[in-house]
Amino acid sequence: MINAEELTRRYGETVAVDSVSFAIGGGEIVGLLGHNGAGKTTIMKMLTGYLEPSAGRVTVDGYDVVEEPDAVQHGLGYLPENCPVYPEMTVVEYLDYVAALRRVEDRAGALKEVLAATDLAGRAFDPIGTLSRGFQQRVGVAQAIVHKPQLLILDEPTNGLDPSQTQQMRDLIRRLAENATVILSTHIMQEVDAVCDRVMILRAGKLALDERMTDLQRSERMVLQTDASAQTIESAVTGFAEVTRWDGGYAFDGVSDDAGRAELTRRLVGAGIAVHALAAEKRDLETVFREVSAETGGADDAN
């Protein structure tokens, strides 16, 4: 669906995106993470054809974004961080206007469907300027999907939504991914955890991590809670695993499979160590994000 090769964008001497390459398949939900200034918005703008890359190439569904922008944008839905709405128009007027621009054939049917999907039917005839921030955000999502795009790019889609609305948005994104590829940029780790199949983390314009969520959360470290001494534990696992102090307990690195974990348990019990708890380390997205930031170091200097 999307193939980016050495994608680069410069603003004068500042390199906002630095030789980023990735491929995204159809139906994937990909979370794009990074600190402010990491290059997320710049990448999304290049994918949409709003910005041309300084170097590199990106294709969407086989179309070159620079050479064939109309073909790319025909099948694209985009929600920028600042919601693109006209406050003096009613919700239905605005969405009908967008549907006309998108050359949707059955505009009435499309409006009915998108109003129901975003739970806006009850506000269809309200001026957008009178709506809360959360409802305006839903209007922004509605305009991005009214033409049933194959690629949907959402920049902070849950911005301004309450917990109930956030859950509805997550459900909507999952439904959309049944027929579209979704790229989701957010500062909220829980959003990526909740809906994404894969995460890409940017740091200072570079792609620091690109992994599937299931692989990212897998750990090769076992954590032990016990009142035994460090010397006793080290003696029990000598020649088998390295042990370090870890969050009030002890950690064993490189114990990645069932056989290794069984052997570790056998050694601990055989040494008479009281095992209060022994489990694989829980690696959530926030932990991984901190690790990536610590590994690369330095301050963000891109936009």
In order of 32, 33, 34, 281, the CA distances from 189 in angstroms are 10, 8, 10, 19
E strand intervals along the chain: 2-11, 14-24, 29-33, 55-60, 63-64, 76-79, 151-155, 181-185, 198-203, 206-212, 221-225, 242-246, 249-253, 277-280
* Position 300 pLDDT exceeds 50: no
Q: What pLDDT digit, counting tens, does each position of 218-268 carry?
A: 777 899 999 999 999 999 999 998 899 887 899 998 787 889 989 999 999
Q: What pLDDT digit, counting tens, does each position of 77-93 carry?
A: 999 888 778 999 999 99
Exposed, middle or buried by CB within 10 Å (0-12, 13-18, 19+), for 57? middle
Predicted confidence band at 150 (pLDDT cuts at 50, 70, 90)? very high
* Position 10 pLDDT exceeds 90: yes
Residue 256 DSSP SS3: coil
pTM of the model: 0.79
* pLDDT of the residue at 301: 39
Distance CA 218, CA 225 (A): 20
* pLDDT of the residue at 48: 92
* Position 271 pLDDT exceeds 90: yes
Q: What pLDDT digit, counting tens, does each position of 178-216 carry?
A: 889 999 998 888 889 889 999 999 999 999 999 998 888
Q: Where on the phi/psi map is residue 62: left (φ > 0), alpha (ψ -120 to 50), or beta? A: left
Predicted confidence band at 164 (pLDDT cuts at 50, 70, 90)? confident
* Position 36 pLDDT exceeds 90: no
- The answer to whether the beta carbons of residues 131 and 56 sit under 8 Å apart is no
78: Cα within 13 Å, side-chain hemisphere? 19
Of 20, 64, 61, residue with least CA distance to 42: 20
Per the document, the length of the chain is 303
* pLDDT of the residue at 70: 93
Q: What percent of the chain has pLDDT over 70?
A: 97
**Average pLDDT of the chain to the nearest whole number:** 90
* pLDDT of the residue at 299: 41
* pLDDT of the residue at 232: 95
Distance CA 246, CA 252 (A): 9
**Token pair 């709003």: residue:** 50
Predicted confidence band at 297 (pLDDT cuts at 50, 70, 90)? low
Predicted confidence band at 101 (pLDDT cuts at 50, 70, 90)? very high
Give the dihedral of Cα atoms 132, 134, 138, 143; nearest 10 deg. Answer: 60
Contacts of 298 by beta carbon, 8 Å cutoff, 6+ apart: 204
Cα–chain center distance at 109: 31
Please, what's the b/e burial string for 243-255 (b: 16 or more CB within 10 A of its CB; e: otherwise)?
A: beebeeebbbeeb
- Sign (positive/negative) of CA torsion 37, 78, 128, 195? negative
Any idea what the Cα angle at residue 24 is, between residues 284 and 212, rounded to 5°?
A: 20
Partners of 11 in the β-ladder: 14
Q: What percent of the chain has pLDDT over 90?
A: 63
Least confident of 38-42, 103-107, 129-133, 164-168: 164-168
Distance CA 55, CA 53 (A): 5
* pLDDT of the residue at 56: 96
Residue 76 DSSP SS3: strand
The domain 2-216 is placed in CATH, from the list 3.40.50.620, 3.40.640.10, 3.40.50.300, 3.30.465.10, at 3.40.50.300
Q: What pLDDT digit, counting tens, does each position of 40-73 carry?
A: 999 999 999 999 999 999 999 999 999 999 999 9
* pLDDT of the residue at 298: 44
* pLDDT of the residue at 295: 67
Structure tokens at 130: 């009178």
**Across residues 101-114, what is the average pLDDT?**
96
The conformation of residue 129, written as its DSSP 8-state character, comes to: G
Contacts of 155 by beta carbon, 8 Å cutoff, 6+ apart: 40, 41, 44, 79, 80, 81, 185
Exposed, middle or buried by CB within 10 Å (0-12, 13-18, 19+), for 127? middle
